[in-house]
Structure formats: C-alpha cells, structure tokens
C-alpha cells in the first residue's frame, strides 16, 4: 500500500526525514508513535501528497504501486483525518456539507459542486453512524472538538475507503468523545480496513493495531509487532525518561514516577 524508499523531506529549510524508508502492506494496521517533532505528521503529509520529497536517485514514494498516483483516486482509497484539515474549514460550513465535500476532495462544498440525492443520503447515514443525527444544518463553529473530529471521520469514510490515515485521532477530545472515536476506529479495523495512525499517546493504539513504529528525530528507532515494540525499555529510550508499560486485553497504558 505504501512504499517509501530513501526519501528526504524538508519543512521550510529544516530536513525532517532523511534517507527514510518504510513499507506498509495493504491490510496492515500500524501506529507511528513518537514525541512531538519526531516526524510523524510530516510522514503523513508525504503520504497524502501535501509534501513531496527531494528529487534524488534511488528514492521514491509509491502508493498502491505507483509513483504518479492520481490525487482523486488516492482520496477514494485512503481517508485522511488531521488537525490541519480540521482547522481548514470555514466557521460557517454546514456539517452536512463538510461530509459531502469528501465526494469532491474539497475543503467545503462550493456552489458548483452539487451532490446527488444518493450522495446526500450516504452523508446523512454517516452522520447517524457518528452520533451526529440532527446536526446536518449545524454550523461548523458551533460544534465541539469531538463533533468536528467525528465529522471529518465521516468525510473520510464517504467513499468507503480501503484505508484510514489518522493524525492524533483523539487529540483535544474529552473522555466521552475519545472513547467514541476509538470505538469507530476499532469498527473500521474489524471490518477489514487498513489503518495508519500517528500519535504520541499510547492509549490511542487500539487493540486491532498489530504493528508499531517508533519514530525519533525523523528516524525509525524500532519497528515490529506491537507486543515486541511497546515495552518499558523501548519507550523509556524513545521519550528519554523512565517509563513503565502495562497491558490489559490489548490496551496499553503508560506509567511513570
């Protein structure tokens, strides 16, 4: 699904990823874990084509086997949710239009982008699934952070994508909204979807995620099965402080003195 080979990516004048390689197969469910500034969001922007690597020999980014993937086709196959996308919507966008904009790959729905009755019905069904029934006409600015995040998840799911790519999926959510978001993530995985999440919160790694990659300063510190990677020793090294990890029924928790 994702094949990245020996890439270097800059943010402004700073190299964030250098000689970076990663391969993720279709059907995998993967978490990128690391502190702020580790390069997680940059990597996701590379996958979403918001950023491009330095052009150099023996370097490539291939999505579904192609280096020249059509952006429209990419958005049909992978649903993206991020804080940046959440901040891009105008305060006066209607909740229903936010979801419908996923059909057009746009931020918001403009006058020339007319949804069909079938598309509108699909969007309304997703709002119901997200617990947002009755919010169709609600303005974006009047929604809570958790409601906005669920709205963007509905937008990402509108095409019934093969995969979800989520940047800090429960960031800024209260406990109730966080629990609901994690439940929706689990449902997607259980239905056979691929998933890639970037987080620095270990409790966002749902039990269905089976592979964890630790990122530190733009490099992979460790990569492998979740049980092998989420250990006290590895996470203490990642965060530079003594940490203790516990596990219960597939959920991991972080402890410190």
Mean per-residue pLDDT over the chain, rounded: 89
Domain count, the chain: 1
Q: Residue 113's pLDDT band (boundaries 50, 70, 90)?
A: low
Q: Residue 171's pLDDT band (boundaries 50, 70, 90)?
A: confident
Question: What's residue 157's pLDDT?
Answer: 92
Residue 43: is its pLDDT beyond 90?
yes
Smallest CA-to-CA distance from 32 within 184, 165, 194, 132 is with 165
Helix or strand or coil: residue 181? Answer: helix
Under 8 Å between Cβ of 174 and 51: no
Question: What's residue 106's pLDDT?
Answer: 65
Helix or strand or coil: residue 104? Answer: helix
CA–CA separation, 213 and 81 (whole Å): 19
What is the sign of the dihedral through the CA atoms of 36, 40, 45 and 46? positive
CA–centroid distance for 77 within its chain: 13
CA–CA separation, 171 and 200 (whole Å): 10
Residue 192: is its pLDDT beyond 80?
yes
Helix or strand or coil: residue 4? Answer: strand
Smallest CA-to-CA distance from 164 within 192, 194, 186, 202 is with 194
State phi, psi for 75 to the nearest 5 degrees.
Answer: -75, -15
Smallest CA-to-CA distance from 120 within 106, 132, 103 is with 103
CA–CA separation, 155 and 97 (whole Å): 9
* 130-158 pLDDT, tens digit each: 888 889 999 988 998 889 888 889 989 98
Tell me the CATH number at 248.
Answer: 3.40.50.300
Question: What's residue 166's pLDDT?
Answer: 95
Helix or strand or coil: residue 33? Answer: strand
Question: What's residue 248's pLDDT?
Answer: 93
Range of the domain at 233: 2-255
Question: What's residue 161's pLDDT?
Answer: 92
Please give the model's pTM, rounded to 2 decimal places: 0.90
Residue 51: is its pLDDT beyond 70?
yes
Among the ranges given (10-19, 27-36, 111-120), the one the predictor scored with the smallest mean pLDDT:
111-120
Nearest-5° angle of CA 124, CA 130, CA 131?
Answer: 95
């Amino acid at each position: 699904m994702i094949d990245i080979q020996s890439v270097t990516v800059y943010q402004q004048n700073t190299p964030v990823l250098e000689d970076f390689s990663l391969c993720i197969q279709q059907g995998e469910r993967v978490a990128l874990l690391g502190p702020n500034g580790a390069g997680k969001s940059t990597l996701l922007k590379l996958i979403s084509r918001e950023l491009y690597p330095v052009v150099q020999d023996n370097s490539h980014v291939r999505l579904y086997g192609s280096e020249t993937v059509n952006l429209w086709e990419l958005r049909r196959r992978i649903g993206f949710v991020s804080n940046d996308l959440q901040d891009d919507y105008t305060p006066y966008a209607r909740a229903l239009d936010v979801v419908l904009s996923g059909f057009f790959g746009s931020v918001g729905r403009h006058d020339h982008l007319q949804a069909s009755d079938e598309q509108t019905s699909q969007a309304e069904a997703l709002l119901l699934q997200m617990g947002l029934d009755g919010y169709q006409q609600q303005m974006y600015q009047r929604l809570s952070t958790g409601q906005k995040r669920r709205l963007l998840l509905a937008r990402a799911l509108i095409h019934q994508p093969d995969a979800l790519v989520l940047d800090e999926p429960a960031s800024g959510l209260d406990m109730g909204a966080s629990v609901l978001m994690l439940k929706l993530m689990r449902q997607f995985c259980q239905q056979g979807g691929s998933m890639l999440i970037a987080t620095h919160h270990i409790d966002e790694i749902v039990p269905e995620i089976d592979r964890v990659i630790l990122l530190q300063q733009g490099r992979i510190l460790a990569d492998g099965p979740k049980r092998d990677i989420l250990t006290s020793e590895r996470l203490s090294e990642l965060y530079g402080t003594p940490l203790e990890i516990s596990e219960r029924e597939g959920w991991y928790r972080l402890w410190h003195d």
